[in-house]
């Protein structure tokens, strides 16, 4: 089975984000970049699918040179091949990224394409559906359970108030949700093997970026807390503030 996993490199959730001098970008110095956590579920499910059905897993990522460290991390989990779509930066327009990925994915003739349901930096949660539209193949998003029998795919996806069961054939795009699996840790053997894998570099023609970043701002600072008194005597004033100022009670 020919399997692809699209992954994204994102800042660590514990990173203290600093806005650049241009007020339109994030200062990348001192940022620890990691594999997008939702993509970890995608890599794990791709490897499980390979182990159950045979074939190989290709890791695909777009971005500047620093992205190769994230590709190596995914390879260390059990990927077999890798493609780095080299760009100066990761475009902020998801449609531009989808167009670039689609060019590579079409050429690879993959049976199943995995990716996380969203990236934790921009939270767009669009990529699976954009790829589906561009490549004209079905996509099942927010998948929490997956079964593959020959070339038939049965997926349970999370919806508001419950779950939905979807059946389709291949090729298919799957976006993974927390709960689908438990991503494995890269073993020492996997890390050493990943260092020996040649990452194939590709260049693609990017479409016009139709989203413009106007300005980045820090969230407003929270107002300082109030001390209304001590003991039971403070309760009436506390209730008044909760009702009239915070408006959390009626």
What are the pLDDT digits (tens) for 68-104? 999 999 999 999 999 999 999 888 999 999 999 999 9
* Count: domains in the chain: 2
Contacts of 239 (CB under 8 A, 6+ apart): 249
Residues 193 and 243 in one domain: no
How far is C-alpha 231 from the chain's CA centre?
Answer: 49
Which parts of the chain have pLDDT scores under 50?
A: none
Separation between Cα atoms, residue 114 and residue 5, nearest integer Å: 5
Tell me which residue range forms the domain holding 41: 2-202
> For the sheet containing 112-116, what is the strand order?
162-168, 152-159, 139-149, 172-176, 112-116, 2-7, 56-63, 81-86, 200-202
Separation between Cα atoms, residue 148 and residue 219, nearest integer Å: 45
Residues 186 and 246 in one domain: no
Residues 198 and 227 in one domain: no
Note the pTM of the prediction, 2 decimals.
0.85
pLDDT over 90, % of the chain: 66
In a domain, 249, yes or no: yes
């Amino acid at each position: 089975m020919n399997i692809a996993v699209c992954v994204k490199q994102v800042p660590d959730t514990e990173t203290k984000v600093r806005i650049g001098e241009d007020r339109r970008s994030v200062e990348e110095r001192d940022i620890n970049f990691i594999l997008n956590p939702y993509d970890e579920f995608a890599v794990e499910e791709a490897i499980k699918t390979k182990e159950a059905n045979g074939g190989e897993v290709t890791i695909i990522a777009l971005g500047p040179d620093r992205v190769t460290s994230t590709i190596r991390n995914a390879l260390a989990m059990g990927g077999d091949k890798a493609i780095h779509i080299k760009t100066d930066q990761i475009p902020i327009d998801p449609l531009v990224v989808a167009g670039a990925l689609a060019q590579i994915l079409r050429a690879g003739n993959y049976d199943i394409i995995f990716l996380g349901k969203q990236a934790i930096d921009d939270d767009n949660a669009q990529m699976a559906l954009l790829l589906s539209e561009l490549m004209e193949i079905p996509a099942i998003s927010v998948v929490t359970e997956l079964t593959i029998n020959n070339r038939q795919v049965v997926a349970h996806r999370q919806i508001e108030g419950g779950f939905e069961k979807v059946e389709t054939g291949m090729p298919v795009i799957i976006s993974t949700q927390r709960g689908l699996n438990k991503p494995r840790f890269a073993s020492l053997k996997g890390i050493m093997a990943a260092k020996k894998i040649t990452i194939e570099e590709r260049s693609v023609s990017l479409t016009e970026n139709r989203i413009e970043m106007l300005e980045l701002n820090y969230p407003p600072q929270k107002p300082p807390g109030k001390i209304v008194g001590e003991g039971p005597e403070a309760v009436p004033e506390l209730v008044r503030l909760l009702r009239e100022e915070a408006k959390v009670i009626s």
